[in-house]
Amino acid sequence: MIIKVLHVIRSIEPTTGGPSFAVKQMARSLAVDGVSVDIATTIYSNKATEGVSSMVPTVESGIRCFCFPRLMDDIWSFSRKLWEWLKDNISNYDMLHISGVFTFPVMVTAQEEKK
């Protein structure tokens, strides 16, 4: 049986610091050990990210990364699309790893996990 892990974090952009780096390293280490790993995160919608689709994950080193648009480039990181995706997909995972505090991705993941 393959264990399925979902990491949820506000951002994996390099400018957001250590947690974004650590989540990617943890995901790579788990994947090497045969764990199925996905990352769900938010990304600020601007010209540089135009055309990025949250339903088509990027894949790097066997890790799928779902990037959901957030409305503003702020620390709260509200993303309606992330919330909708979590409602539909959170039950597909055996384990959740939530990184960060006091952000929308953390709050909504914890809320959906309880259901």
Determine whether domain 4-114 maps to CATH 3.40.50: yes
- pLDDT for the residue 41: 93
Q: Locate 8 and state its tokens.
A: 């949820």
Q: Is residue 37 scored above 50 in pLDDT?
A: yes
- What does pTM read for this prediction? 0.86
Residue 69 tokens read as 């648009």
pLDDT for res 61: 80
Using the predicted structure, report yes or no on whether residue 47 has a pLDDT greater than 50.
no
pLDDT digit string (tens) for 88-106? 999 999 999 999 888 999 8
Please list the residues that pair with 67 across neighbouring strands. 41
Average pLDDT, the chain: 85
**Per-residue tokens: 40:** 């769900």
